A and B are shown apart, each in its own frame.
Chain A
């Protein structure tokens, strides 16, 4: 029941406008029940009810007289923590969604529709149509194409539900392959990448695995142990990985945002519109891929071993093109 990030006036206004019709539909309801329903603290409910009870319209007299204000049963609130709305003004219905609010939910639904159990396309389409009709303007044009999470997700999901452990071969970010026995806790995703968070018996620690790095997945009959609290926290996805190696790169100043994920910091200005930045990386295994994927944009200037690793990686790649191309390879075979 966290109140979430800092609550601005817009959130508070939305809460007030939503609380009125809800209270209207509930003759007597406790502060805690309202707090549970809206997922806010009881204090926030009391604060809102206190404000609603003294609010209203200027009215004929322009003086905000008694009949122009909302009213509540004060004694019930003070002695029993119960809310009883006794007089209504101006509003009696839920407000519509804004164009962006509707768009946020619609895009969220589109994203969810790639999950195996939400594949009921008709149900999702009808829900999106309802949201569109419930918005005060055409929903913002934000859309998400279905991403196919593959068959792995369904297998892992079934294991999570049945509470059994899974076994798979895992290729880690350093390029090492190992067999893992894992207690699966939860499937998480960020954009098109899907992850499993769980307890790894090999490492004896909580770990996050990319689903696309798993192979030979199979579900065991071994039941999972009771989950620790940590298992319920989706935020634990990206624990900072060790980034002991510092690498200095040179690139056009305009291209720096491309490296935002690596926390670049300033390392001198070689002149012109070029800049140098220092990146923290866990190992050269990842660095060479990063730099080769940004050909012509990023150059490693040091340390010299890092330059050599990148050069060798690219050279090994080129060597493959200097071999004859699989004598008579026909790209159309087997399509």
Chain B
């Protein structure tokens, strides 16, 4: 722990946290901050009676946050006879809200599935959460059936924005970030109330309310090009369950409504990759090329992807996609056509 080593204390962090949880569960009416600091293991050793306990108080504030992060319902109770008084606030953990509901149980097969689900996040984002969830499941003492052999599925969120966005979402914190919208060349700063983070069609999307547009918008995490920062004083009430499903069904509706028709060169990278794309209609044989129908959510995102395939792909419809892909190829050709020296002087200023 930073900056709190003024007194040597042999009580470890986990012992202090464990003792705090036990003390707060054992109390019905709650403990005041003074009670906690003067009596609970890990605090009492550093408590100065009648003295300055400011650093110990800050320690307690951090410990409260850490405990709540673990899903432990640490409550603050205002004394009914003295509302608004900070000194008489009481802290407790209601046992009924701490315990796993009595009617919840898991079968061996369910546990096997949950173990596999936890390994999906084996690295990076949500891996610590998955690990802790498994520890809690293990407390139930169920022996799981053998995990499915031969599978090792994983979600690896590469985007650095995932972590700060998902945390801000839980806290109802408005965030700001630079967003490079597909099809544009300069990023713009966006202020967003994050409502859901979803993986759709292989891409992570943020669903949220854009504060400037005062409307819901969907952002690609891969296009967030700067740090995600909290907007000072910007909070909102998280709308709770259902947001992620709403985001997914909106994307799904968009995806179904948009259909592109393209030709791909047989045997090319484009043919192999695109013909197997989720729910593309079965390819039909044309003369030479293969025709593929592709659903999509965002015309500019698809145009970027298709331009990458160069001559392996020819877009037939919609016309807007056809011209978007052609325009991208023209811009790439032109940017790489001048002699090297000319192009650097032009753009190097």
Residues of A within 8 A of B (CB): 4-5, 8-19, 21-22, 25-26, 37-39, 51-52, 55-58, 62, 64, 89-91, 93-109, 111-112, 115, 117-118, 123-124, 127, 130, 132-145, 147-148, 150, 152, 157, 160-161, 171, 175, 177, 184-193, 212-213, 215, 234, 250, 252, 254-258, 260-261, 270-272, 274, 288-297, 299-302, 304, 307-308, 310-311, 313-321, 325-326, 329, 331, 333-335
Among B100, B169, B202, contact of A141 (Cβ-Cβ < 8 Å):
B169
A101 & B71 in contact (Cβ 8 Å cutoff): yes
Q: Mark B14-52, 1 if CB is under 8 A from A, else 0.
A: 110111011101100000000000111100000000000
Task: Kindly list chain B residues whose C-beta atoms are within 8 Å of the C-beta of A292.
Answer: 307-310, 328-329, 332
B286 to chain A: closest residue by CB: A326
Is the C-beta of B257 less than 8 angstroms from some C-beta in chain A?
Answer: no
B272 & A317 in contact (Cβ 8 Å cutoff): no
Task: Kindly list chain A residues whose C-beta atoms are within 8 Å of the C-beta of B331.
Answer: 295-296
CA A25 to CA B141, docked complex, whole Å: 8
B139 & A18 in contact (Cβ 8 Å cutoff): yes
Of B53-61, B82-90, B112-120, B211-219, the segment with at least 4 beta carbons within 8 Å of chain A is B112-120
Output the least CB separation between A212 and chain B (Å).
Answer: 5
Question: Given contacts A134-B100, A143-B248, A331-B317, is CB(A101)–CB(B149) below 8 Å?
Answer: no
B113 & A95 in contact (Cβ 8 Å cutoff): no
A260 to chain B: closest residue by CB: B158
Task: Kindly list chain B residues whose C-beta atoms are within 8 Å of the C-beta of A135.
Answer: 71
Question: Given contacts A51-B14, A144-B199, A300-B336, is CB(A58)–CB(B39) below 8 Å?
Answer: yes
Question: Given contacts A22-B138, A186-B151, A270-B347, is CB(A316)–CB(B311) below 8 Å?
Answer: yes
Question: Given contacts A101-B136, A190-B154, A271-B348, is CB(A150)–CB(B276) below 8 Å?
Answer: yes
Residues of B within 8 A of A (CB): 12-15, 17-19, 21-23, 25-26, 38-41, 66-67, 69-73, 97-101, 104, 106, 110, 113-114, 116-122, 126-136, 138-141, 143, 148-156, 158, 160, 166, 169-170, 178, 180, 185-187, 195-202, 222-226, 238, 240-241, 243-245, 247-248, 251-252, 261, 263, 267-269, 272-273, 276, 278-279, 281, 284, 286, 291, 293, 304-305, 307-311, 313-314, 316-317, 322, 325-333, 335-337, 340, 343-344, 347-349
Task: Kindly list chain B residues whose C-beta atoms are within 8 Å of the C-beta of A12.
Answer: 13-14
What are the 9 A-B residue pairs with the smallest beta carbon separation, nearest first? A98-B71, A293-B308, A108-B117, A192-B202, A295-B328, A143-B244, A18-B139, A93-B99, A160-B150
Among B25, B267, B329, contact of A318 (Cβ-Cβ < 8 Å):
B329
A173 to chain B: closest residue by CB: B269
Among A13, A127, A161, A175, contact of B14 (Cβ-Cβ < 8 Å):
A13
B129 & A104 in contact (Cβ 8 Å cutoff): yes
CA A141 to CA B238, docked complex, whole Å: 10
Output the least CB separation between B234 and chain A (Å).
Answer: 18
B120 & A108 in contact (Cβ 8 Å cutoff): yes
Output the least CB separation between A106 and chain B (Å).
Answer: 8
Output the least CB separation between A25 and chain B (Å).
Answer: 5
Q: What would be 21 A-B contacts, judged by CB atoms less than 8 Å apart? A: A8-B128, A11-B128, A11-B132, A13-B14, A13-B17, A89-B22, A90-B26, A93-B99, A95-B72, A96-B73, A134-B100, A140-B169, A141-B196, A141-B243, A145-B201, A175-B268, A188-B153, A252-B186, A318-B326, A321-B314, A321-B329
A112 & B116 in contact (Cβ 8 Å cutoff): yes
Among B66, B156, B305, contact of A191 (Cβ-Cβ < 8 Å):
B156
B310 & A257 in contact (Cβ 8 Å cutoff): no
Task: Kindly list chain A residues whose C-beta atoms are within 8 Å of the C-beta of B252.
Answer: 145
Question: Given contacts A26-B141, A258-B225, A274-B347, is CB(A142)–CB(B166) below 8 Å?
Answer: yes
A144 & B198 in contact (Cβ 8 Å cutoff): yes
A9 & B13 in contact (Cβ 8 Å cutoff): yes
CA A175 to CA B121, docked complex, whole Å: 32
Among B69, B128, B308, contact of A289 (Cβ-Cβ < 8 Å):
B308
B273 to chain A: closest residue by CB: A212
CA A16 to CA B72, docked complex, whole Å: 14
Question: Given contacts A55-B19, A117-B148, is CB(A112)–CB(B155) below 8 Å?
Answer: no
A254 & B178 in contact (Cβ 8 Å cutoff): yes
Among A95, A133, A188, contact of B99 (Cβ-Cβ < 8 Å):
A95
A321 & B322 in contact (Cβ 8 Å cutoff): yes
Task: Kindly list chain A residues whose C-beta atoms are within 8 Å of the C-beta of B26.
Answer: 57, 89-90
B136 & A14 in contact (Cβ 8 Å cutoff): yes
